[in-house]
Amino acid sequence: MKSESSNPSVTERDIEPLRGQIDEIDQKLLELLNERSSVANQIGHIKQQLGLPIYVPSREKIVLSNVMKNNPGPLPPEAVRRLFEQIIDETRALERQKYPSK
């Protein structure tokens, strides 16, 4: 069923290039997430050598504040917070695997 506001010049073929853009962006995100995890692992190694805890709540608060403050949208701030909380949780889990506490 078509809505009254549908544009007859728009077809389903118009979706494909946009999906291609999303696929490219997803690859870039994946590269960046893995790069971020690699840097976090380096930090985890230093923390282990210094006997510091993996989890530092004050640092997590700074990271979340930074991404929310610099979010240009269209994602709402709380969505950005949830996404980055998950990224941080997964990165921390990786650090704990690689550098378990003694």
Residues 6+ apart with CB under 8 A from 94: 37, 40, 41
pTM metric for this prediction:
0.80
pLDDT per residue over 46-58, tens digit each? Answer: 998 999 998 899 9
pLDDT per residue over 6-62, tens digit each? Answer: 677 988 899 999 999 999 999 999 999 999 999 999 998 999 899 999 889 999 999
Distance CA 101, CA 49 (A): 11
The three-point CA angle 60-61-67 to 5° equals: 90
Amino acid at 102: K
Structure tokens at 82: 């949830």
Residue 98 banded pLDDT, cuts 50, 70, 90: confident
Helix axes 77-98, 15-50, angle to 10 degrees: 50
